[in-house]
Structure formats: structure tokens, C-alpha cells
Chains A and B, each alone.
Chain A
């Protein structure tokens, strides 16, 4: 356990020395500024409710959930990108440059090195995702007076999704060179998002085939399911026509989460980590 924690701290140290903690916050401030501007102009046009025939639509909830949903979409992407860049060269990439061998010959289990890297990258990415999500929610709350309910669950779902992306990247790094692994992971990420959108489209069009495509892909790539569940919980407080309109959009979150999804995500993470440890232990370096 000490070795895992030590390697995790080394990952954080590397980010500090490589100025990741300088550049990322600066770019993030730019993102949040843009997000704040978007909130300001969006809520400028929002009065509270709009009468659509005999139904009232809560435009404040509509605008708020859409904006936070948009932020979640971006946050997941940025968090996943950060995670991929932190983990894509962990095994084969570092072995090819000769960084890994001096570490692996020490009396520390290879599992300690791999789990330490997973922990370190997860700490950084979860911190980043959390900060970005909380920042977005605070901006929308302050500018538009709309707060998601539940407030924390969508953020936790995003963090869970990013940890799964990191674990998949570590597994890929055992077999693929840095470049190939990085490209492959972004493609997997893109495929997951596409499948999620197809699933949502299936809900809207009432197409079982599209719905099943989304569900199966969410099962194979649960980071997408966690994201969908986060979006779903974000709008769970909306009612009536407002809820219907929100759910129809690409940021509505067609798939609800729940304990089963959390359990599956945990099992999936454990299986991916176990596979990574198994193959890393047997890999010639």
C-alpha cells in the first residue's frame, strides 16, 4: 500500500513539475469565464415560466439544466483527455524510452506501480472534474438562480466515468505504443458518446434497436452510462412538460442510474484493473 501511495504522489509531483497544475487552471478559468458569459446571456432572456398552450414550462430549469448539462459534457471530455494523457504511456511507452525498467527492477511489485499510477491519475482527474463541475454549478446558481437537485450526484458520476477511462487507458498502455493507445482511447471515448446519443435518440423515436444499441454500449463502456446517469439525475427535479422537453435534448440523459449501475461500474473497474495487473506481470520489458 505504501508503494501505491508513493507512486501516486510521484504522478502528482510529475504534474506539478511539468506545469500541468499551472496550465490547466489557467485554461479552466478561461472555460469558466466563457461558461459564465453563456449563463449571463441565457438567463437574461429567462423570466421563469412560459405558457405553451395549457402547459407551463419552467424556462429557468430548462436553461439551467441545459447549461450545466453542457458543462458536464465538456467536463467529461476534458477530464477524460487529462486522464488519457496522464496514463497513455504508463507501460509500453515508458518501457520504450527506458524510464520504466529502473523502477520495475526494484523490490516493488509491478502491481504497486500500476495501481499507484491509477490512483495518482485518478486523484488529479477527479479533483479537476470536481472543481470544474462545482464551478459550473456555482456559476449557474449565482447567475441564473437555478440549482441542480441532487447537486453532487452528477459530479460524482462524471468522476467515476473518468476513473474508468483512466483504467482502460492503463490497460491499453500494456499492449499499445503511446501514440496508438492515445488514439485508440479517444476513439473508444468517442464511440461511447455516440452510442449514448443513439440510445437517447432511440428513446425519443421509440426505437428498440437504437435503445438496445445504447444500452449494450453503456454496458461495455460504463463511463458513458455514468455520464448519462449524471445527466438524468441533473434533471430529475424537473416536472411536467419541462421534464419532457429537457429529456428530449441531447443533454437530457435518457438512461437513469441507480445502485446496479454503480455496482456494475465498480465490478468493471475491478476487472479492468485485474486484467491490467495480470498482463503487466507477464510482460517482458
Chain B
């Protein structure tokens, strides 16, 4: 049974189509990245999964239960893109509040473990209003992990983090995957997605326009040969063609300094897919 299953999900806000028939499955322990320009429908899809938004048509299930049902909500952890915790609560009290709402019996040991996991164990009694934005985001991740959810829906979880904080979250996501927890991750940080995700989907205009494993999406396309007159690209060449190309260049009097496979970044793939569209 998939942790997240969307079938023909459509969402309209008046005349605006936010999602135009999305089909998506996230398996147990799979880490899936959602990419797309602003307004592509990423957050809407995640919110439908959480039960915050009702789809116009189609169906979303969380671990087999209809999205929005008590059973479905008990199985997931969620971190919104724009969130705020009650500023008058301390970090520990925020988790305590969510333990009560989630029905978690983890008690103080669960809170201590999660705060340590996100590096907030030294500010447990500090009020949210006194935490930096990055600390609040890490607290948000800890909050999402209350009650050992089977699925995490994370909307831009690293947007406020510094590079060290991002690395911590990256390691955390990998650890969660190893424990069999599924993650659906929205992010504009393509390098993050490329580093941790098992599968990447690109949404545009409410539709999934491409998907695949990051390693497949960025596989080598042609070769680049560095000569005295600059770098020459051979986009259709394969590895086997390299000796012949180099021989021709040398015969033509070129001085060859290096040969490397031409490998696009995920950003290149993304820009190609969305056609440079900005939200």
C-alpha cells in the first residue's frame, strides 16, 4: 500500500486551475521531490494530502485512508511553507501541544529526542518568539515527526536554513528513508532535491510534465572537448565516439587538453522542462 496515492486530482479556484488531474504514488520509504515554478500546484497537492484543501475532483489516500480523515491525519507529519507556532510557547511546549493533538504517548523522552535530532536541545525552554527563523524551521521539522508518522509532507523545509542546517536536514531525511518513512518534499533548492530524493517530479500548470530518478534525469548527454581554441560540445556523441573525434581534431591541427562527458545539472533539466517559466 503506497504511503501517498493521488488519482486524477483536480483543484480549481474559480477559473484558476491549480491541479489538472495529478496522478502520483509515493511508496513506503520513498523520498520524492516535487519541483515546479511558483503557482505550479505543489503546495496545493500537499495541502490536499493533509486535508487542508478539498479537491474539486479526484482522490488522495494516505496509507490507504482518505486524505483528511482522522486515520489519514494520524499517519502523517506536515510542515507548511508558511507556518508560525504560537509565539508564547517554548520549543518544548510546542511539541507537547502537538503530542496532545496527535495522541502521541511519547512524553518528554520523545520531545527531548526530537529536539536533539534537529539541534535544538539547548533551547528547549526558549519561547518561539525568541527563536531565529532557522530554529523555528527546525522546530517545525521536529513537530512534523511527532507520533512517528509514516508519511512526511514537507513544503520548503529548508528555505530558512543555512548550509549547515540544510546538511542536518538532508541527513535526517536520509535517516527517515532508511526507517521506512515516506517523504514528499517540495523545494526550490534543486541541489537538495538532487542529493536526497529517490524520484523527482516536475509540475507545471497543475500537471506533472516529467518525472524520473535524479541520476537518470542528469545522465551524460554528449561530450565536451577542451582545445586551445576553447571548449567544443558534441551533444550527440557517446563515449565510443571520443577517440575518433579527438583523432580528427588532432589531424586538423587542434591541441586537445581534455575530454569530459557533458552532464546537465538538475537545474538544466528543470529549466528545459518548464521552459524558463517563472511563477
Interface residues of A, Cβ cutoff 8 Å to B = 3, 6, 10, 13-14, 17-18, 97-99, 101-109, 282, 284-285
Could you jot down 30 A-B contacts, CB within 8 Å? A6-B101, A14-B88, A17-B89, A97-B84, A98-B80, A98-B82, A98-B83, A98-B84, A99-B85, A99-B86, A101-B78, A101-B80, A102-B79, A102-B80, A102-B83, A102-B140, A103-B101, A104-B51, A105-B50, A105-B51, A106-B98, A107-B70, A107-B74, A107-B103, A108-B101, A284-B47, A284-B52, A285-B47, A285-B52, A285-B53
How many A-B residue pairs lie within 8 Å, measured between CB atoms?
Answer: 62
User: Contacting A101 at CB < 8 Å: which of B76, B83, B100?
Assistant: B83
Interface residues of B, Cβ cutoff 8 Å to A = 47, 50-54, 70-71, 73-74, 76, 78-80, 82-86, 88-89, 97-98, 100-103, 140, 143
Contact A109 B70 (CB under 8 A): yes
| A contact patch SS | helix
Given A107-B102, A109-B70, CB of A102 within 8 Å of CB of B82: no
- CA distance in complex: A101, B53 (Å): 11
Contact B54 A282 (CB under 8 A): yes
- CA distance in complex: A102, B86 (Å): 11
Contact B85 A105 (CB under 8 A): no
- CA distance in complex: A92, B103 (Å): 26
- CA distance in complex: A108, B103 (Å): 9
- CA distance in complex: A106, B140 (Å): 14
Contact B100 A6 (CB under 8 A): yes
Q: Which residues of B contact A13 (CB under 8 A)?
A: 88
Q: Which residues of A contact B98 (CB under 8 A)?
A: 102, 106
Q: Which residues of A contact B51 (CB under 8 A)?
A: 104-105
Contact B143 A102 (CB under 8 A): yes
User: Contacting A105 at CB < 8 Å: which of B52, B89, B103?
Assistant: B52
Residue of A nearest to B70 (CB): A107
- CA distance in complex: A106, B77 (Å): 8
Contact A105 B76 (CB under 8 A): yes
